[in-house]
């Protein structure tokens, strides 16, 4: 790391949004000295490294929202970035499949949303056309989204950081260094960490699962609270892998904030099935038995958590039952691929999604980025933030230039 002089910018958080912000900022200002702080010993160690690996198209998101605009723009830029820098990826396409008549109006709405969002390479499918693409999948209608793909998000994150550091050798990525607090005074921020202190002209927080806590530690007022939801996956065994060729998704139920259990072909050739969505007792816990007292108390002492539970009680109970029952998980998967058997599944990994939850129990749906003095906070960046990361990074840089007058 370079000397103790004041950094131009300190970025807190080394997931893909933090790395994309570093990359965008350093590319725009090659002489700027930037420090990225990450509390883990590797970049992309939480949401980025535990997500589904999908390059989302942008088909689900409300037209005109930050999610919709940034996902479409960010996807196209991410694919170009992957091609240019040799990041493992595949634009394999996905199917959204309706299995009963009640889902057809929702499928039609999703297709219309995709058109409104400018999604390229989409088409409606009949039951026969679904079979031509995915012979083992059973559905009555579908939508093919050809621009959806898969990618190594860890590799993309690491490449963004390495390109930035190559542009400016005086910039630095500090791993294993946790943010503790900060104080703004006289145009300079004093930052305390687990390893010491730093001075910075500007600070950008990209904290993911810890975004609300980082904001409060920085003195910001955040009315909502991050609540974590763990998603468990199964993998298809060697005998079951031939039953899935692309990505296959159900028609999501709009009453619930998740896309439903689906099939994802990963960049290493494996096929993942999932995830479910259950409340987690540890924000950064990836096992069914992980527990953290502070995380649990933060969530269960918050009224919004209980309102969410009450509003979605039957859904939550079903998700918990499925989390501990392979047979129930299989039954859900069989809605799309009826010939799957218990022997086709083996336990896989898990991820945790950060959801910014309001006091009324509703989830903040769109991306949220706010300014506090000379600081910028990414308060809410749920899926598809990894796909949209380069567009989010560009938005942060524009905000820093326009509002903070960074130069």
For the chain, the structural domain boundaries read: 7-48+154-223+366-403, 94-146, 225-363
**Token pair belonging to 250:** 């159900």
pLDDT, position 3: 52
User: Taking Cα atoms as reference points, which of 394, 331, 404, 405 lies closest to residue 23?
Assistant: 394
pLDDT, position 5: 82
Which CATH number fits the domain 225-363, given the four candidates 3.30.9, 3.40.50, 3.90.1720, 1.10.8?
3.30.9
pLDDT, tens digit, 9 for 90 and up, residues 103-153: 999 999 999 999 999 999 999 999 999 999 999 999 999 999 999 999 999
DSSP string, 86-137: T--EE---EEEEE-SGGGHHHHHHHHHHHHHTT--SEEEEEHHHHHHH-TT-
* Residue 355 · residue 230 · CB < 8 Å: no
Q: What is the pTM of this model?
A: 0.95
Strands (E), 237-301: 247-250, 262-265, 271-274, 278-279
pLDDT category at 2 given cuts 50, 70, 90 is: very low
Q: How confident is the model over 238-255, as a mean pLDDT?
A: 92
Q: Dihedrals φ, ψ of 283, to 5°?
A: -60, -35
Share of the chain above pLDDT 90, in %: 87
Domain at 7-48+154-223+366-403, CATH class: alpha beta
Asked whether residue 1 carries a pLDDT value surpassing 60, the answer given is no
């Amino acid at each position: 790391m370079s000397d103790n002089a004041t950094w131009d910018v300190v970025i807190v958080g080394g997931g893909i949004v933090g790395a994309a912000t570093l990359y965008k900022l350093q590319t725009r200002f090659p002489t700027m000295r930037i420090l990225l702080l990450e509390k883990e010993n590797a970049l992309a160690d939480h949401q980025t490294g535990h997500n589904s690996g999908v390059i989302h198209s942008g088909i689900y998101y409300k037209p005109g929202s930050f999610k919709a605009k940034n996902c479409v723009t960010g996807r196209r830029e991410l694919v170009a970035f992957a091609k240019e820098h040799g990041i493992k990826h595949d634009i394999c396409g996905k199917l959204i499949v309706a299995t009963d008549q009640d889902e057809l109006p929702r499928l039609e709405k999703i297709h219309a949303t995709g058109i409104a969002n400018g999604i390229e390479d989409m088409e409606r499918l009949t039951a026969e056309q679904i079979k031509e693409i995915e012979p083992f999948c059973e559905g009555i209608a579908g939508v093919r989204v050809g621009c959806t793909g898969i990618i190594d998000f860890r590799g993309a994150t690491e490449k963004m950081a390495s390109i930035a550091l190559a542009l400016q050798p005086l910039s630095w990525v500090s791993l294993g260094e946790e943010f503790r607090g900060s104080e703004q005074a006289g145009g300079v921020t004093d930052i305390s960490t687990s390893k010491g202190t730093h001075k910075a002209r500007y600070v950008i927080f990209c904290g993911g699962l810890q975004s609300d806590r980082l904001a409060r530690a920085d003195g910001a007022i955040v009315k909502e609270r991050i609540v974590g939801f763990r998603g468990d996956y199964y993998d298809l065994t060697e005998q079951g892998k031939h039953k899935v060729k692309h990505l296959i998704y159900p028609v999501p139920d709009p009453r619930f904030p998740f896309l439903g259990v689906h099939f994802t072909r990963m960049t290493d050739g494996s096929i993942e099935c999932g995830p479910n969505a259950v409340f987690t007792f540890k924000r950064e816990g990836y096992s069914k038995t992980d527990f953290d007292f502070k995380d649990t108390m933060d969530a269960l002492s918050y009224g919004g958590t209980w309102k969410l539970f009450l509003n979605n009680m039957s859904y939550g109970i079903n998700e918990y039952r499925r989390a501990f029952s392979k047979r129930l998980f299989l039954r859900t998967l069989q809605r799309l691929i009826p010939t799957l058997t218990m022997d086709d599944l083996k336990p896989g990994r898990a991820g945790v999604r950060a959801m910014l939850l309001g006091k009324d129990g509703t989830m903040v749906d769109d991306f949220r980025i706010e300014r506090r003095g000379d600081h910028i906070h990414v308060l809410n960046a749920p899926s598809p933030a990894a796909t949209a990361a380069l567009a989010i990074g560009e938005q942060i840089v524009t905000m820093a230039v326009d509002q903070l007058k960074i130069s």
